[in-house]
Structure 1
Amino acid sequence: MMEVKSEEKDESNERLWSWGAGTDGQLGNGQLQDEQIPQQLSLSSHSHISSLACGAAHVIALTSGGKVLSWGRGNSGQLGHGEVVSNMLYPKAVTSLDEHFITHVSAGWSHSGFVSDTGSLFTCGDGSFGQLGHGDYASHSSPIKVSFFVDQQVAGVACGMRHSLVLLKGCLLNQVYGFGSGKRGQLGVSKDRIKSINLPKVISGFEDVEIVGIAANGDHSAALSVDGHLFTWGRGFKGFEDSHIPQSLNSTLKFTKATLGWNHGLAMTGEGEVYMLGGNHLGVLSDLHSVCQANQLTVDSREANLEKVPGLDGTKVTDIATGAEHSVLVTDNGEIKTWGWGEHGQLGLGDADDRTSPVTVRVGYDLDEAASTRVYCGSGFTFALTKF
């Protein structure tokens, strides 16, 4: 999801934590094993991390100085380390981007995207579905500039399982593009079924709204407008039909952030309330679709798909993240809460059990000392970045 860059602050005192699936080195701790409780990583040589992006089993870190680090699974070149396509157990600099100041990164299932301060887009990794946007189906182990946008200003990129979305800067016409796999409608470029496309194609339906954020995961896509409306397309949530063009959520709520998993999504309002879209038995809060059928209710499916996350009354949420089938949030008092699929310990609760409602994670620091905490999810793992 795109986020507004805040004013630079002193980031000399920060801590990075990881937990969950680690068999590809994605936890960045030098181990090839799962961790069921948060483990603090050493930042001695990689301080000033401003944000992360987590994919299926790889992680991209962006520093406040515009540099990029990556680690985890590298079998498709998604780490961007050139000829080296092996897994990395520790953060390693993506040196081919050193001459650029990178402002935004995204990690998909096995591909990655990078946006520079000059509005250039670079991609690397698996390209077998056209998700790199280079006009072919080749894979690349180093970030390559997407020439389609050479005369335009890219604001952000969102990498899904096998597709990508791009948001351009400062324009209302032709502002969002899609490329890659489109079999579930996740490209949003045509009402007809599309197997895949390897060049960016404009997504229709946004001519009268200004989009400020995009998100992609699994076969889902989403966009957030400047006035807080949430649009989704692609694979239908909870068994509802796929949507091949963007559809606005039928809600009066105004959202400020949205994230997507494989079968669900989270959306946060400006008041710090969190709502869930879709889900399944591993992380769903209830099955509204079945309830409606059982009671023969006529409910707009796009409204029925939205449910407020329980147990948070009177608590403001400051950040959200979604993995494949688990969810994470941060409250205004610094608590991290998780729920959903827990097989790899990605909930950070010391076991491999699933949870159907948010549970507080014990992290090794005093909550009163933390100035801010941001959370990030890969398919089966979780990261937390805390500033003090």
Structure 2
Amino acid sequence: RGAAFDTMSSSASSCRQQSRPRRITRAASRAAAAALLSDSPGEVVAHILKQCEPRDLGALACTAQWLHPLLELALRLRAGENGHALPKKLPLGDDSCHRRVQVLLSLERRRAQLGRRTIAAGMSHSLFISPEGTLLSCGTEWDVDGNPTPGLLGHGELAEEELPANSIHVPTPLPGLASVRIHSVAAGVSLSLAVTSEGEVYSWGQGNMGQLGHGTWASSQSTPRQITALASERVVAVEAGFIHALALAESGAVYSWGAGGDGRLGHGSEEHLSTPRRIQALAGRHVRAVAAGYESSLALTADGAVLSWGRGALGQLGHGGNPTPRSEPLPHVIAAFRGTPIAAVTAGNKRSLALSRSGGVYSWGDGAGGQLGHGDETHEDAPKLVSALARLDVAMVVAGASHSFALTADGALYSWGAGQCGRLGHAGRAQAAAVRGSLVEASFLF
């Protein structure tokens, strides 16, 4: 509330001439701001309020009911400028203005988390960020085939003993980052990445292909170490593939490093890199999100275009070319999305997903196990709308190794793909025909 009113304070004060100098208290300043809000055209007020963070708008909603219609307009304007649309029809059929604002605020908070991953799951380990910014990890430093992956948990050297030793069974803070506030994390098959609140990047795990970004080909790093090659940039997001990594800077620059096979680093070659290098082909593209698959990469621009590069043997790049889709060593625009602005992208092992600004879910690549959600196991070499979700207002999509989730605006969760070990959340179903979006749980989450 204070931030929102303070936004108006200087304007309110300057609009009222004083006959003699007098001290303006914070309370008086906020009162003047409130008066200016009430006297101004609604559309002007909405354009001012849209600059506030959701938490400040939420505070205003609790204290100024007369602002609710303008808060709703501000939230919709804010969402549109950030590349997505808030639903016109809200859950539960509740049309009260207060309830509508609360629902829209919840959606905006959830959307804000898309660019800030606070939980990440690799093949054999998990990373968590506490509300205070503390980084925790748990899991094992063995891969699914029983081979050691030293350093993956970031707690220093653990004893090399038989499986399932070399493990931490509950989320435990990393001593090496105890004094650092963490903003987001990424967990790959062989490495872990963390971005601090200051935009610094730390990495640990296996580094034999340069995927840690420290300028060496060391076999492993058992504690978090800052990637100094990125120190000149304020990094806002990181992504970890199998043995390569991506970083997105606040400036819009995208960096890549690690294994370069099939051109997955985006530099026009298959050169392996042990230090981050900016992808020049994306310069000027205004990239706002990146995603790393097993051997491929994606970038999402501010205007909703999607570019992909790397291995494309199963169609995961989305450029067509059946029966033999080719790899791309440089970022290439996915032509199928021209005219369909995209709001978010994510990548699994050998497939990709995209969420359009209108809420449509698209998938392409490896269709084995029904992981594309089209009701069959056909590989798709270009984006295809997941028709089972077409009538739903999807707010978020997440890709696991070979299964996926979609979360709708009204809190319903859908899953599809390979269902071994209960990963789809459908009790009593194994591999199952969960090849279409299937309801896991429908609950109002606001």
Q: Secondary structure at the residue paired with 1:201?
A: strand
Question: Over aligned residue pairs, what C-alpha RMSD do you find?
Answer: 2.2
Mapped partners of 1:207, 1:150: distance in 2? 19
Mapped partners of 2:117, 2:239: distance in 1? 18
1:288-307 Cα shifts (integer Å, max 9, x gaps): 778xxxxxxxxxxxxx5110
- Contact 1:165 1:178 (8 Å CA) reproduced: yes
**Superposition deviation, residue 334 in structure 1:** 1.2
Q: Which runs of 5+ in 2 are unaligned?
A: 1-52, 59-115, 142-148, 160-165, 316-323
User: Residue in 1 aligned with 2:250?
Assistant: 169
Residues 155/313 of structure 1: CA separation in 2 closer, same or farther (3 Å cut) = closer
Kindly tell me the number of residue pairs found equivalent between the two proteins.
Answer: 306
User: Residue in 2 aligned with 1:100?
Assistant: 180
- Contact 1:328 1:336 (8 Å CA) reproduced: yes
Letter in 1 for 2:138: W
Mapped partners of 2:123, 2:426: distance in 1? 21
User: Residue in 2 aligned with 1:260?
Assistant: 347
- Contact 2:368 2:378 (8 Å CA) reproduced: no
Alignment of 1:306 onto 2:368? no
- Contact 2:118 2:183 (8 Å CA) reproduced: no
Query: Which structure carries more helix by proportion?
Result: 2
- Contact 2:133 2:183 (8 Å CA) reproduced: yes
Residues 88/337 of structure 1: CA separation in 2 closer, same or farther (3 Å cut) = same
Alignment of 1:338 onto 2:415? yes
Letter in 2 for 1:129: M
The correspondence for 1:77, drawn from 131, 151, 164, is 151
User: Residue in 1 aligned with 2:235?
Assistant: 154
Mapped partners of 2:174, 2:357: distance in 1? 35
Q: TM-score, normalised by structure 2?
A: 0.65
Residues 8/123 of structure 1: CA separation in 2 closer, same or farther (3 Å cut) = farther
**Superposition deviation, residue 96 in structure 1:** 1.4
The correspondence for 2:366, drawn from 272, 279, 285, is 279
Mapped partners of 2:117, 2:201: distance in 1? 19
Q: Where does structure 1 differ by over 4 angstroms across 4 or more consecutive aligned residues?
A: 6-10, 286-290
- Contact 2:293 2:350 (8 Å CA) reproduced: no
Q: Relative contact order (C-alpha < 8 Å, sep 6+): which is higher?
A: 1
**Superposition deviation, residue 227 in structure 1:** 1.2
**Superposition deviation, residue 314 in structure 1:** 2.5
Mapped partners of 1:277, 1:289: distance in 2? 7
Letter in 2 for 1:331: T
The correspondence for 1:119, drawn from 190, 196, 199, is 199
Q: TM-score, normalised by structure 1?
A: 0.74
User: Residue in 1 aligned with 2:333?
Assistant: 248
Mapped partners of 1:135, 1:331: distance in 2? 42
Mapped partners of 2:367, 2:133: distance in 1? 38
- Contact 1:76 1:111 (8 Å CA) reproduced: no
Mapped partners of 2:310, 2:300: distance in 1? 15
The correspondence for 1:62, drawn from 98, 116, 129, is 129
Judge which range, 268-277 or 147-156, deviates more.
147-156
Mapped partners of 1:178, 1:322: distance in 2? 21
Q: Which runs of 5+ in 1 are unaligned?
A: 1-5, 11-48, 291-303, 372-388
1:200-250 Cα shifts (integer Å, max 9, x gaps): 112122123101111112001111111111111111143511111111111
Q: Secondary structure at the residue paired with 1:231?
A: strand
Q: Secondary structure at the residue paired with 1:259?
A: strand
- Contact 2:293 2:351 (8 Å CA) reproduced: no
1:236-288 Cα shifts (integer Å, max 9, x gaps): 14351111111111122111111101121110112221111222221232577
Equivalences for 1:1-80 in 2 at 5 Å? 7=54, 51-74=118-141, 75-80=149-154
Letter in 2 for 1:356: V
Mapped partners of 2:341, 2:384: distance in 1? 14
Query: Which structure carries more strand by proportion?
Result: 1
- Contact 1:326 1:338 (8 Å CA) reproduced: yes
Q: Secondary structure at the residue paired with 1:262?
A: coil
